[in-house]
Amino acid sequence: MRIALFVTCLADTMFPEAAKATVRLLERLGHEVVFPAGQTCCGQMHVNTGYQRDAVPLVRRHVRVFDPYDVIVAPSGSCVGSVRHQHAMVARRGGDERLAGRAESVAGRTYELSELLVDVLGVTDVGAFFPHRVTYHPTCHSLRLLRVGDRPVRLLRAVRGLDLIELPDADQCCGFGGTFAVKNADTSTAMLADKMRHVLSTGAEVCTAGDSSCLMHIGGGLSRMRAGVRTVHLAEVLASTAQGESATDHRGLVVRW
Amino acid sequence: MVTRTFLGIPATAPAGVGHLRGEESFPVAARRALGDAQLRRNLGHATTTIRAKSAGVIAEVPDWQALRAAGSAIKTDVLARLPELLEQLEARVTAAGGVVHWAADANEANAIVVDLVRATGSDRVIKVKSMVTQEIGLNEALEAAGIAPVETDLAELIVQLGEDRPSHILVPAIHRNRAEIREIFLRAMPGVDPGLTDEPVVLAAAARRFLRQTFLSTSVAVSGANFAVAQTGTLAVVESEGNGRMCLTLPQTLITVMGVEKVVPTWRDLEVFLQLLPRASTGERMNPYTSMWTGVTPGDGPQAFHLVLLDNGRSAVLADEVGRQALHCIRCSACLNVCPVYERTGGHAYGSVYPGPIGAVLSPQLTGVADNASLPYASSLCGACYDACPVKINIPELLVHLRDQVPHPRGESAAMAAAAYAMDHPALYAAAQRAARLSRLTGRRGRGLPPPLSGWTASRDLPEAPAETFRQWWAKR
């Protein structure tokens, strides 16, 4: 199958390993991945911070760039959530009904990674090997906006060598919330503290999730406390194989104040 | 009778009266609350307990989702023909011997109630727990007129005696523990036993003794209303203690203040909400005390009944096609109990009597967003509130909607516009990505990021920017 990668601006700029892993994984499963070059950002930050008008050109760009493709995948529940639940609304409020219609059409062809694998490609065993103790954090937007349900967990259970440990109070928000993490930094940090306590209680070496943004937040906190637990995107876990392609290439989180 | 309440451009709730506006922004108030370990423990314990109890009894109902859909549909219908239903309600209440008053805002409602109490000659009123009278600051208005309001809901009494403010819609004293309640009673409850302990049973008995005397010696009561049935002119109050029923049945005069959105068309509609409310709210299968009354009944209960229909910004909310779903709220507080933000900050941080997720979308609409500009941002948009809402208010959607109306800081607006411009020009975007990589050089230890980004690095390390972006890697393949 020919699959267009919607990389997301965050993965493109800060977490390219998650995006590269998505490419490697899908190619290993025998699919063709294309990267539409005109893509930038879905505009979610603008919409969720109160700048819908600024987001209109970004929605228009996203729709124009991805409209030619039948299947679109992103390694992010949140960005897919924005495409599915916000793009048409932003276009409509911006007075562009035609764009709204096209946005709805693109949204209908856009999948979060675990949705693509399980629902479209029909696989739960992707042939991965990842010999680590792992706990999975279901991000709010994959859980409650996309309703990915147990798809990520089914994928993780099929990974050779992976010891999956249930995260207590998994459905509780980690406290990221986009600009919430900055505008309400104290509350965000209090939520993060509880999430980290639960992650540490599992004894896992790796905390995985379907969103680089939440992982940046959780990983940033774990790094600050020198917890020794890594955050690794779900795509990187699923792309890892016994042949050596693994999620071990990890830069440390070193920027601290 | 239709007054100016429904004519012209709808007004928002006036400032200077009532409790819809905080003195501080949410982040500032939240910071102080987060530092209160006792508050965090009380809230964590209370919300976790209610959450589990509610989830348990909701899971028993096979048609819960259908009930939610029905509740939402009924409220949508009510809002679509509110004037007609209110006039029907007025006609039925009047026919049953009640008197209906229309109040455009908090000032008018307070003046109406004060005048009504004065006319009875009483210098004291007993009060049923009510959000709307907290919203309009009725107690302060009564006190200013020399009339003593006595809260009879146990938790509201604790709040009142403590000269405090409610911090939860359902459990207004959720921020207090029993040791604090004992101290408040000892300090402020008339005739309290000085040997009072902090045993819950002893505290409840002390409140009971005080309230019994008050019930038997007060001739006027003030209540809110959970529902009003337009079909028959029947008012309904839902409570757990029975103290509300004492107020609704013992006094000679009953004055009910009701937000205009509380009307439902028929008894069949009430049936839906009486199934939804207790399970979502207290986690009970059936509400303990559901009091209903229609006008006055000679020789039985209050012989004078006044209904004050309050707008106070509700017409302005109704005028917003997206925002109006906030008026679906039945004040169950399920969204507070599941909210990770509320659980950590408590209700006072929201400034308004309506805290938590519903407060974050209702208060700014009632006052105009500029007066509560930080509230729409008091959420991580995790969506737990939407799932929990028994009438399916899409709170995350509303938060995003209101954020779009907030007056933005100029610096932020400029940055957002610049970001959007760059993101719509791929060459600029790629340049910005390179700048992000360079920024790691400027962001090394000792050279902190400026506010607001310092909010991130206070508790979290930033990832080191990668050597190459994904698109650079892709281009080289």
Chain B neighbors of A20, CB-CB under 8 A: 470, 473
- What the block records as the tokens of B412 is 């932020």
Q: How far is B452 from chain A (nearest CA, A)?
A: 6
In a domain, B361, yes or no: no
Pairing of strands A133-136, A206-209: parallel
Residue B138 and residue B268 share a domain: yes
3-class SS at A212?
helix
List Cα–Cα distances, A226 to A217, A252, B24, B103, in angstroms.
Answer: 14, 11, 35, 59
pLDDT by 10s per residue, chain B, length 477: 445 555 566 899 999 999 999 999 999 999 999 999 988 888 999 899 999 999 999 999 999 999 999 999 999 999 999 999 999 999 999 999 999 999 999 999 999 999 999 999 999 999 999 999 999 999 999 999 999 999 999 999 999 999 999 999 988 998 888 999 999 999 999 999 999 999 999 999 999 999 999 999 999 999 999 999 999 999 999 999 999 999 999 999 999 999 999 999 999 999 999 999 999 999 999 999 999 999 999 999 999 999 999 999 999 999 999 999 999 999 999 999 999 999 999 999 999 999 999 999 999 999 999 999 999 999 999 999 999 999 999 999 999 999 999 999 999 999 999 999 999 999 999 988 888 776 655 554 334 666 777 888 889 998 888 999 999 999 998
* Cα distance between residue A224 and residue A256, in whole Å: 8
| B365 found inside a domain | no
Contacts of A17 in chain B (CB under 8 A): 466
B428, exposed or middle or buried, with CB in 10 Å at 0-12, 13-18, 19+?
middle
Of A12, A58, A179, the CB nearest to B470: A12
- Residues spanned by the domain of B191: 36-314
Of the residues B280, B295, B314, the one at which a domain ends? B314
Residues A93 and A146 in one domain: no
For residues A219 and A254, the answer to whether their CB atoms sit within 8 Å is no
Q: Distance, in angstroms, between B335 CA and closest chain A CA?
A: 14
In a domain, A221, yes or no: yes
Residue B404 to residue A50, Cβ atoms within 8 A: yes
Between A and B, how many CB-CB pairs are < 8 A?
211
Q: Residues 6 or more apart from A46 whose CB is under 8 A from it?
A: A52, A54, A55, A58, B416, B419, B420
Interface test with B, best of A12, A61, A169, A236 (most B CBs within 10 A): A12
DSSP state of B379: -
**Yes or no, beta carbons of A185 and B459 under 8 Å apart:** yes
**B264, B279, B314: which is the final residue of a domain?**
B314
Residue-number span of the structural domain to which A82 is assigned: 2-120
Within a domain: B181: yes
Do A163 and A104 lie in one domain? The reply is: no
A54 CB neighbours in chain B (<8 A) are 416-417, 419-420
The verdict on residue B259 lying in a domain is yes
Q: How many domains does chain B have?
A: 2
**Chain-chain contact of A257 with B454 (C-beta, under 8 angstroms):** yes
* φ, ψ of residue A250 in degrees (nearest 5): -125, 120
Q: In A, which residues are within 8 Å of B34 by CB distance?
A: 186-187, 190
Closest Cα of chain B to A213: distance in Å? 11
Same structural domain, A89 and A170: no
Query: B133, B122 in Cβ contact below 8 A?
Result: no
Query: Can you tell me the ipTM of this complex?
Result: 0.94
Cβ–Cβ gap A13/B26 under 8 Å? no
> Can you tell me whether residue B257 is helix, strand or coil?
strand
> Which residues in chain B have their CB less than 8 angstroms from residue A170's CB?
none
Q: 3-class DSSP state for residue B88?
A: helix
Answer yes or no: do B469 and A57 touch at CB < 8 A. no
